[in-house]
Structure formats: structure tokens, C-alpha cells
Copies of this chain bind each other. A is one copy, B any other.
């Protein structure tokens, strides 16, 4: 199954985020009422920008991150975003914001409430509509009235879609990678098992845990489960095969025997040092709620991309999105890219997505 034509560097660990906080800025958008009826008296959105704004946003590209991302798009999406990249920070004004409900600077369940303690179980349930609504208000505050494009993969792609139907006319075009109009029951099921792993960790404490003692074991299991879905059978084979971890023969232990086990444990533990368990609950819930029924409100044009080896967000879901756009009389294309890296392909592939995105962003405006 291993394919020697796959460049090895593409199989190096994908950090999915960069540790730097340089350049991260914050904007307060005031009180916020959620679709679920919840109320947040004072919401902050963390964001970063690159490049120089033209006009009210004629060259602005908003990047929406996936579940565990943050505002540092030139880190986690360096395949596509940066100087000379398809989303060229020397040509476009690029903005990326941490999701409402997240834990990388925007208001989320780990943020202090008015009593100084973390919101925890008191944080309202969110929808991706809430996330986009909050980002729209943040965008206004920083002086952007229109967008050349909105772009994202996975949960970021869902937000991009939401932008185009919630604020028609504001977004000229949307690039949506490895995403869908609504989670299937199997996709909900994968998220639910991750949530159960957290909620059944006694340290979750119903959501009200101290900031320095979160339910790390449950969160680690949830993250390991995530990694099962980010990779493909081929990438597992290429990265690990059945190699043992620093040994020649089985030690007959319940500890680590195979390299793949060590990788999963490492990924799980690393994640607990940078992510908040309640944020994972809130954001996976928002993803599962998301259900785009049609694109009739939209005036945007679309580029949909999917990957042959992405078994958790299969290509038929992107094809269904393209058909939804066509049904609404909108311009849309769907390109299936044949790469073996699974769902992670949207983060790793600069070359093939790059050509498509570069062309898509340079197409004349209507």
C-alpha cells in the first residue's frame, strides 16, 4: 500500500497549529446572544492579519480554521497561505480569527466569566452560525466591509458556506475544502464518541474543572480518535506499517508495542497542553448541528475541493455542495484531488489546491 512517490516531508508530523502568539490581536465585539438563547456579556475575538487592505476589503481573504486550529493561518495552512503562496499575503489582505467557543484567544468556555471563574458548564451551546455572526462583528470593528473570498477546510469550510448564505453580497467567492453541507450520522457518531471520552472522564466534573486540571485523559482519547479520521489507511501504512517502537520483538505488554501506538499517545498528550476539553465539546456540537439546506440565499461563486483518500469527508459530500450551488444558479466547480493523505490532505497539499485556489482568487470579479 505504501507509495514511494509520496514525498516524505508530507508525512512528517502535521502540527495543525503554530506555537507562536506573535501578531495575535484581539477585538471586543460586546454582548452576544447565541442561537441557543444563551448570552455572553462581553465577547473577544482573537485574530491575525497579513498584507495590506485595499478599500473596504476588495482584496480581503478571510480564513476559517478547522476544529483544533487557531488564528495563525500562516502556520497551520502554510501550504496555501503566505508570501507567494496561493493565498498570497503580498497580494491579499488575509485575516484569520479564532472561533467563538475556541481556546486560542477568542471567548470560549475556558475564558473567565464575570465572576472570574471559567465559563465551564455555563458557556452556551453554539452553532456555526454564532461563530460566523461573531466574526462578522469583529470584521466590522477592524474596518472590513466586504470580502474577496472566504476560505476553509472541514469545519472551516462549513463556516465559509455559512458566510455566503448569512451575508449575501458580502462574500464574492468561497473556497471550501474537504467539507460538507451536514454531518452524516457516521460523522456525528465519531464526534459523539470523542465527546463521550471527555464527558466520562471524572475530571470533566460536568464541565466545571479548574484551568490547571482539565480532563486530560478523556481529551487525549478524543484527540487520538480524531487522528484515526485525519489519516488514510495508506498514510498509516506509509508512516508506521507494523514497525515496533524501539524494539526488535514483542515485549508482551499492554504498554507501547507498535510505533503507531506511540504516535497516537504523543498526539493525544500534546493536544491536552494546548486545547480545552470544553471547547472540543462545544465546537464538535456546533459542527454536528450544521445543516445547509440550500444555497438559494447566496450570490457567491464556489470552489469545492475534495480528496480521494479522505474517508471521513468523502468526495460525494463536496459534489453535493456543488450541485446545491448549481441548483441555486451559482457558479461552482468541484475538483477531486487524488492524494493519499486522507482528510489531512487539505492541510498538507499546497501544489494541487494551490493551482486551483490561485486561479479561483484571480478570476475577474463580477
Which residues on A are within 8 Å of B, measured CB to CB?
Answer: 1, 35-38, 124-125, 182-186, 188-190, 192-193, 195-197, 199-202, 207, 217-218, 220-221, 224-225, 227-228, 231, 233, 236-237, 239-242, 250, 252-254, 257-261, 264-265, 268, 281, 285, 288-289, 291, 311, 314
Which of A218, A237, A253 has its CB near the most chain B CB atoms (within 10 A)? A218
CB contacts (< 8 Å) of A224 on chain B: these are 189, 192-193, 196
- Nearest-neighbour CB distance to chain B for A185, whole angstroms, equals 4
With A221-B197, A291-B242 known to touch, is A125 a contact of B189 (CB < 8 Å)?
A: no
- B192 x A261 contact (CB < 8 A): yes
**8 Å CB contact of A260 from B35, B182, B188, B252:** B188
- A236 x B36 contact (CB < 8 A): no
- B268 x A185 contact (CB < 8 A): no
A197 to B183, CA, bound (A): 24
- A264 x B228 contact (CB < 8 A): no
* A–B pairs, 28, beta carbons within 8 Å: A36-B250, A124-B252, A125-B252, A125-B254, A183-B242, A185-B236, A185-B241, A185-B259, A185-B260, A186-B231, A186-B237, A186-B260, A189-B236, A189-B261, A190-B228, A192-B224, A193-B225, A195-B254, A196-B264, A200-B201, A200-B217, A200-B218, A202-B217, A207-B254, A221-B221, A242-B291, A254-B285, A257-B288
- B288 x A258 contact (CB < 8 A): yes
**CB closest chain-B residue, reference A263:** B189
- B193 x A242 contact (CB < 8 A): no
CB contacts (< 8 Å) of A184 on chain B: these are 1, 233, 236-237, 242
- B242 x A182 contact (CB < 8 A): yes
A259 to B184, CA, bound (A): 12
* 10 further contact pairs, Cβ within 8 A, besides A189-B261, A233-B314: A36-B252, A186-B236, A188-B242, A189-B224, A189-B260, A193-B228, A196-B264, A199-B254, A200-B218, A225-B225
- Nearest-neighbour CB distance to chain B for A308, whole angstroms, equals 15
**CB closest chain-B residue, reference A216:** B200
A265 to B193, CA, bound (A): 9
**CB closest chain-B residue, reference A196:** B221
Which of A1, A125, A261, A311 has its CB near the most chain B CB atoms (within 10 A)? A261
